[in-house]
Amino acid sequence: MKKLAALFLLLGLMVSAQNNRVIYEYKFRPDSTKTDSLKTEWMYLDINKNGSKYYSKKTFDNDSIINESIKKQMASGMKSISVSRQSFGGEVNGEVEKIYPEYKTYLIVNVGNDSYKVLEDRKPIWQISSAKKQLGTFSVQKATTDFAGRKWTAWFTTDVPVQDGPYKFSGLPGLIVEMSDQTGSHQMELKGIKKIPEIAPEELNTQGKDIPFTRKKPIEVNRKQYVKQLSQHENDPVQGMREILSRPNSKVMIKVNGKEISEPKEVLRELEKNAKEEMKRNNNKIELIP
């Protein structure tokens, strides 16, 4: 009876409310060469009548801290802005937006010092199995798909009338409760659903200053253009920063791993070193084929 009551409450929440947050636990192995590199990040899938947004809680919180710091520095009239790239920031920096009812899907992601909004031109083609099981209070059914170079297994529930799920996955006749790739490198599991208030997104006004590590209005591109930018960034990961530091009177102090640096050559050297080390460690991305 308790399970039934909980289910009716959940159905009422999803149907009557316009703003809901689905919470997923995302476990992933960024380095395929290290079996002990498994990490965990809490992800939000915020759903309203117009669509959904999937993003990292930790990255969102860290961005909010950075934005508040910048706003205070600008309000005080400081000429140079100090940006701290926190080591406790989220590992997942990209966001995924879906627009209902056609489920048009976008990836919003930073590449270097630019932000891109990439229209996804691939749709998961699902094979729905007859296999069913119980996951917590949910009755779920199995489905499989190949997407972006990985083979995926999803367990979805028709108990929740939302054809959505984590990351770019949607199109099943219900909400995705659990998802994992064939290698076990990427796993998402639903941990909760709650109603949230409608909050208008706030854009940071940098007053014309190009400040590193802040989210900018994304440039809309197709997937082919995005892959080109991604390749250029991998070949020269500090190109954007080099352009900023070459401008007259450009003087931004940056903290990297607790170390304050401001001399341009040292900034570039440190950032390039860190970027290349990060790319080497992050060799097992969710999309093997971007």
Q: What is the pLDDT of residues 130-173, one digit of tens each?
A: 999 999 999 999 999 999 999 999 999 999 989 999 999 999 99
Residue 30's domain comprises 2-281
DSSP string for 116-157: EEEE-------EEEEEEEEETTEEEEEEEEEETTEEEEEEEE
265-283: average pLDDT: 85
Phi and psi at 94, nearest 5°, equal -80, 155
Question: Would you say residue 72 lies in a domain?
Answer: yes
pLDDT confidence tier of residue 217, bands split at 50, 70 and 90? confident
* Rounded CA separation 286/290 (Å): 9
For 234, the enclosing helix (H) or strand (E) is: helix 223-235
- Separation of CA 64 from chain center: 15
Q: Count the domains in the chain.
A: 1
Q: Over 80: is that where the pLDDT of 51 sits? A: yes
Question: Would you say residue 31 lies in a domain?
Answer: yes
Total-model pTM: 0.81
Question: Would you say residue 126 lies in a domain?
Answer: yes
121-133: average pLDDT: 97
Label residue 265 exposed, middle or buried (CB < 10 Å: 0-12, 13-18, 19+).
exposed
Question: Would you say residue 286 lies in a domain?
Answer: no
Distance set, CA 9 to CA 18, 134, 236 (Å): 15, 18, 52
Question: Would you say residue 289 lies in a domain?
Answer: no
Question: Would you say residue 152 lies in a domain?
Answer: yes
